[in-house]
Structures are given as C-alpha cells and as structure tokens.
Amino acid sequence: METNSVSSLILFFCIFLVMGSQLISGSVTYDNKAVIINGQRRILLSGSIHYPRSTPDMWEDLILKAKNAGLDVIDTYVFWNVHEPSPGNYNFEGRYDLVRFVKTVQKLGLYVHLRIGPYVCAEWNFGGFPVWLKYVPGISFRTDNEPFKAAMQQFTQKIVGVMKSENLFESQGGPIILSQIENEYGAQRRALGPAGEAYMNWAAKMAVALDTGVPWVMCKDDEAPDPVINACNGFYCDSFSPNKPYKPTMWTEAWSGWFTEFGGPILQRPVQDLAFAVARFIQKGGSFINYYMFHGGTNFGRTAGGPFVTTSYDYDAPVDEYGLIREPKYGHLKELHKAIKLCEHALVSSDPTVTSLGSSQEAHVFSSGDGSCAAFLANFNSTSAARVLFNNKHYNLPPWSISILPDCKNVVFNTAKVGTQTSQFQMLPSDSQLHSWETYGEDMTSLDDSTTFAAIGLLEQINVTRDSSDYLWYITSIDIGSSESFLRGGQKPTLTVNSRGHALHVFINGQLAGSAYGTRENTRFTFTGPVSLQVGTNKISLLSIAMGLPNNGVHFENWNVGVLGRVELAGLDQGKRDLSRQTWSYKVGLKGEQMNLVSPDKVSSVEWAQVSAITQNQQPLRWYKAYFDAPSGDEPLALDMRSMGKGQVWINGQNIGRYWMAYSNGNCGVCHYAGTFRATKCQRSCGQPTQRWYHVPRSWLQPTQNLIVLFEELGGDASKISLVKRTTAGVCANAFEHRPSVANYQIQSTSASKMLHQAKIHLSCSPGQSISAITFASFGTPTGTCGSFRLGNCHAQNSHSVVEKMCVGMESCKLAVSNSYFGADPCPRVLKKLSVEAICSTKMS
C-alpha cells in the first residue's frame, strides 16, 4: 500500500514535470483527467450557440441563459463562407461579428471553445466552405492537396490572428480555452487512406504552429496526433476513450435533439435520456461535455445546408429557436449540472472504482485522498426499476437512470426524476396587421434578356450560379408539326426530366406543368408528366432550385446539382425525342433578385398590382409585398406562412429564410425516454407542415412601415400571412412530497441535497406574463402528464383553491409539496404528489 502510493506520487510528479513546460507557455493545458485552467483541473460544461443563427441583440440573453443553467463554456463553429464571401474579402459585420460574440461571452464570465474547422458540417450551406473555393484550380477538399491546404491555412491563420489581436485566447487573458481544427475527420480519413492520414497530420501541425497557447481538439477522429486531443460526438459517449492515456476524456457534441428537414417530422430527445447520457459520461471519467445545440437558432437567408434542412434549427435544444427557455429540458439539465459540480473535486482527483450492484446496475465511486467521495449509481435496465444496496444502504433507481451522490451517501439528483416544470409554447396573433398587399409576376418573357446565355447540352447548376441564387432557368424549345396525331385527340406527349437536385418546376409555354423534388438522402429525382403542346414553337422552361448545398459526405464538394439529363419527350409520332443535347438557354436567378426588389430602396422599381384579383387563381412565380408596424411588447415574433407554398421571404431587406409548407411524413408514436436513443425515436408534428412559423428577429424591425417581400414559387394566398408572438401558453409541475421514510421514494436531507431536493414545485411563465388560471391541481395521487393530468384515488379537496390563491396573478410561484399546505392528510401512509397545470397570459398593464 505504502509503496504503491509513493510510486504513484512519483509518477504524478513526472507527469507534472512533463506538463510543466506547457504550463509556462500557456495557462490552459490538460492531463489524463481534465482540461487544466490556471493550474486547476476542471469539469467543464459547455453549450453550442452559433453566432450567425441569432442576432447580436439576442447574444447576451442567450449566453446568460447558458450561464444560469450552470454552463462554463460557450462553443461555436466559425463559418468561413460568411466571413470570406470572395477570396481575400472578409466580413465580420452584424451577425458575423465573431469578436463581439466572443467578447460577450467573456463579459458574462464564461469560456469559449472556438471550433475553427474550417470545415464545420453544422447543417450549414456547403459545410461552411465558401462556394468559390470549389473553383480554385486543382483543388480537392479535406485531403492532402496543396491548393486546399493553402486556403485552409490562410483562413485558419486569419481567424487566429483576429482573436490574438483582440487578446481573446486564455493565454492572453481572454476567454478562449480550446480551439478545434478540422471536424469529424475520422470517416473521411479512413475513406481516403494515406492522403487522408497525411492531411490530418498536416492540419494538426499547422494548427499547433499557430501558437495560441491553448490546446487544440479534433473531434471524431481517433487518430488525432499529439498534442491534439481527440474527442467524441454522439448521443452517448461513455464507450469513448481518448487515443493516449495522458489526454482527457472529452465529448464535444452531446446531441440535445436533431435537425429538421423539410418534409420530415420534428425530432426530439427526452431530457431524461440526455441527462442519463451525460451522467454516464461523467461517471466513466469524462470531464468536458458540450451540448450540441444549447441554442440552435435559425438558418436565416440561404445559410441552411442540406439539401432540405429547414430554416428553423431549433434542435430541441434547452433554449428554443426563439431564445425562450424550453422546460423541462433546461431546468432538469440545470439541476444535473449543480449535482455534477458538487462532485467536481472528487471527479478530477481520482479515477472511478466500478462495482456491480446487479445484473445491469453499477456503482462508480470517485474517492480522493483527502476524503472527498462522489458516487454514481446506475441502472442500465430500460424496463425495470432496481433496488440496490450500496455502502449498506438501499437505493431505488428508476429504469435507465443514474443517481448522483456527491458525498457517497445522499442522492441529490436522479436523471429520470424530473422535478422541473414543463412549459408549452403557443403562437398568439399579434396586434400588427400586414396591409397594402401588392403583387408582381416574375416576368418569364424577361428570360430572353441579355443576362441569358446559350450552350449545347445541360450544365451543372452550381458551376453556373456559383450559388449566387437558389434558382437557375434551363430553357429550350421544341417545334411541333401540324401532322402530329396527339393534336387530333390522341394522348398528350409525356415530358421526362432527370435531375440531380434539388427541386424543379416545369413550365410549358409559361404555364406550370408540374413540380418534382429530391430528398436529402437521395437528391436525384425524375419529373414525368403529360404536357400541353401546340403547333409551332413550344417553350420548355425548367426552374431548377438548390435547397441548401450538401454539408457532409466524402468529397461532397463534387456532388452535382441541377438538370443533368436526360430530358426527353415521348408520345410524338417519331417516338421519343431526346432534348438533352440540343441548345439550352440559361438564366441565373430571378428577375426580382437581379433588381433587388426585396430592398426598401428598390422595391418601387417595378409596377406592383393590387393583390385581390390575382390571388384568386394563386398563380406561381409571384412576388408579394406588404407593410406592417412592429407589434407591441417584446415577445419573439414569427410569420405564419401556412397559406403559402414554397419560396423565400424578406423583411426590410433581410432574408428570413426559405419557407416551404411541405408536410411531415413520419411516425409520431408514443416516445418513452428509456432505452437507447436514435435520432428518429421521438417524432412530432406528423401530418402538419414541417415548418409553419418563421422567426422574425425584433431587431430587424422599425416601429412603423416595415416592408415584407416574398417570392412564391407555387402559389398561395399572401393576404392570409400573419405575424404572431411566441409565448408560453402554460406550465405544469409535478413533484412528490418529501418523505424519506416512504419506501420507493428515497431522498435524504443534507446541506447539499437541500439545495436540490426541497419538495417544492415552481411554476414560472415567460417574462411579461403571469399565471391567469389553474386548470388542474391535485395533492394526492394524480396520474398523467402535462396536458392530461387526472385525479387519482387520493385527492385533497382544497387543492385547486390553495394553488389558485398562491399562484393566480403571479409571474411565478413556489409551493411546498406537503400536508401542511392542504390541511388534513387526504391519505396517510401513501406517498403523495402535487400536480399542477396553469395557464400563462400576457400581463395587463
């Protein structure tokens, strides 16, 4: 025993000496246990907030919400394509003001993990690469290729240089404690072989040579070379170990939900499972966890990747797309974080001792030399609760859960027992009317103007547009002789168009003949349909639409978009006619885009018409405009686009994003938290439009005369678009009384656990709201969940009136779950709980 601890002491000093040189050059280092900041090993809790996915006006509030949830670090990618729109021309303005974002984090006292990439994936257009990069001669992305490496190095240097010049690295007194180079490179490296290996080594060396004074991370690449730390991304990471024994165990993306694609359902992740995954990682010895996303936000403009990633990037994150707290996700994680922090000293000072407590139950105990002890009791069984014996005491563990005991005795948190309130959001009509609707037809006769060019055959779309617009016209004509038999009552000819993506509208002589779409998984699709042709020249105009460029896959930069053939007409007297190799005219973008009709300065440059007569036949390819005053209050705002088809919408010249009322095709069954989670496990909104509401940041509005302009591809009733406010509709809370003596409910009171487990419920509406009514209250044995509570056999008759008296009219209220509140015990010797459902309404001023 004696010699063991002496030799481990010697070992510790050796490691310390090795690390010593790093300690001098920078104040952030690491060892096998943790990231070390100013000499202290830390358990670091982090959350992803991507600066371009919200507005600078929102940043401070979002970061503060992260801080209040107990986070230490804000993680963001750096988005190359927005910062360098053309080679050598940089943009760090507005939503792209990275320095301001990092300084806001610093001001609030948090750290930053700066994931430079510059490949970022992120469901962001082209994975964050500028599209011009694809057209650098001889380039090949993310491999041992000189033009690519030169461009990547130049941008990485640029970002590091900007951060250094503002003293933003921790080694300079700033908040940045970690940086990432590349992103999830493992799969690509394996696919590319030696070239991938060489590139990975080059990238690591290049990054380290930038001498930031803080460690570099490579996520999802288990061969990340020293001193770069390899890290895990996933729904669970407890089976992950770093590739060297002297690196800390880091989880750079703990997925809080999943992204959404047009036509798909909303994908959610129950907080009990997320908390379980986090606790599993910590009990295994993990010391850094980043929620991806903590706030997902919005893919404004054409920033969504894809194809078909929605404008909303809500991600079922603890803070929702609009910046509102999502409960119980936020509150339950906050409690988890408090519990983990109570264990911090023991966690960073020792390795866990794991003992089996049953067939799928384990204790992970961290006990350091100085007497501190923390234990995690885990039940991996997804169907059965377990009663386990640990240190001579019994503990009850719900299925698929972990209890945290910061003193190895008292449970302060269990991942499956959610004590925080549940909130439900609603979209309420605002007091602002969109008025003076006018419309303008995207003029198809203008397709013959000087910006059109001709070529033989079909061209790849992005090569032509360079992604300056989603839209590319492919136009050709076909002559029909008067002798064709279909003209005399025969079957109409059939047009077939093969496309590589992503969406297509087919016009014959200016009339919409039909549309077709690919999917995210398979962008190829075929349009086939009968077409009305007349004697003489017929014009075939194909509007091909890119719906966000791909953001991952091996060499995704080479994936084609657009009508690439064949294009074929069948049912003529000659049989089939192949149109693929004839002359096609091309026009990039829409006429309205060219004229910048969406900007308040340019909107009057065309003749707009009153909407009424036109909307009755809901024509395709139309622009609409209207005006509105900013709604009162400060609730987040959204456009309800339900009456429309597909297109883009701008407010005061700012692109709100792509909209599409594609209906969710999914499987929205019952979702239970227990059991291994997959992205498609918990689906919502089946049979509804995938995305009906589109976030309008308040800061983009002026008090009056705001201009909304939209381009509608298919047809819709613009006069029915409305501006709504997002608020909390109601809140629910549900908690058991505090009775340690009752079996099956085990909580002891110490100073630590008191903080976490007072048997209280806390109801809280959004700022500016108050509780206007109690729709359910029962102290006893109520059943059900928020929205479907029911009385049980035991019920205190005065439950409703007591809760009403305490809560109605208040912005928030706290209630103890105890007999003393409700008078006589309605059912002695029975474990009781209090369930409450309340309605939130805007406060009358």
Ligand X SMILES: *[C@@H]1O[C@H](CO)[C@@H](O)[C@H](O)[C@H]1NC(C)=O
Catalytic residue numbers, as ranges? 184, 253
144's tokens: 């041992």
The number of CA neighbours under 13 Å toward the Cβ of 326 is: 23
Contact 294, 303 (CB under 8 A): no
DSSP 464: H
Least Å distance, CB 361 to ligand X, is 9
Least Å distance, CB 142 to ligand X, is 18
Least Å distance, CB 383 to ligand X, is 5
CA dist., res. 437 & res. 611, Å (int): 6
Strand 111-117 versus strand 73-77 pairing type:
parallel
Q: How far, rounded to the nearest angstrom, does the alpha carbon of residue 827 sit from its chain's CA centroid?
A: 46
Question: 277 or 464, CB closer to ligand X?
Answer: 464
Least Å distance, CB 303 to ligand X, is 24
Residues across the chain: 845
Least Å distance, CB 360 to ligand X, is 4
Please identify which residue in the block is written with the tokens 């992260």: 66
753's tokens: 């656990």
Contact 716, 645 (CB under 8 A): yes
CA dist., res. 83 & res. 93, Å (int): 9
CA dist., res. 184 & res. 417, Å (int): 34
Question: 97 or 460, CB closer to ligand X?
Answer: 460
Strand 622-628 versus strand 706-712 pairing type:
antiparallel
Strand 35-37 versus strand 28-30 pairing type:
antiparallel
Least Å distance, CB 359 to ligand X, is 5
Least Å distance, CB 388 to ligand X, is 12
Residues contacting residue 675 through CB under 8 Å, at least 6 positions apart: 382, 400
Three-state DSSP class for residue 501:
coil
Q: Integer distance in angstroms from the first to the last C-alpha of the chain?
A: 71
68's tokens: 């209040």
Question: 417 or 500, CB closer to ligand X?
Answer: 500
365's tokens: 């105990």
CA dist., res. 370 & res. 349, Å (int): 9
Least Å distance, CB 364 to ligand X, is 18
What residues make contact with ligand X under the rule CB under 6 A? 359-360, 381, 383-384, 460, 463
Question: 223 or 460, CB closer to ligand X?
Answer: 460
Contact 424, 786 (CB under 8 A): yes
Which of 749, 271, 37 has the alpha carbon at shortest distance from 279? 271
Which of 601, 597, 608, 590 has the alpha carbon at shortest distance from 439? 608
Which of 822, 842, 716 has the alpha carbon at shortest distance from 769? 842
Contact 463, 582 (CB under 8 A): no
Which of 534, 523, 469, 409 has the alpha carbon at shortest distance from 711? 469
Question: 99 or 354, CB closer to ligand X?
Answer: 354
Question: 387 or 602, CB closer to ligand X?
Answer: 387
CA dist., res. 205 & res. 681, Å (int): 40
What secondary structure does DSSP assign to 245-259, as a single string?
A: TTS--EEEEEESS--
Three-state DSSP class for residue 219:
strand
Question: 129 or 262, CB closer to ligand X?
Answer: 129
Least Å distance, CB 380 to ligand X, is 7
Question: 324 or 459, CB closer to ligand X?
Answer: 459
Strand 494-499 versus strand 44-49 pairing type:
unpaired
Question: 90 or 380, CB closer to ligand X?
Answer: 380
Least Å distance, CB 382 to ligand X, is 7
CA dist., res. 630 & res. 704, Å (int): 6
Question: 201 or 360, CB closer to ligand X?
Answer: 360
CA dist., res. 176 & res. 167, Å (int): 9
Least Å distance, CB 356 to ligand X, is 12
CA dist., res. 154 & res. 132, Å (int): 15
Question: 361 or 766, CB closer to ligand X?
Answer: 361
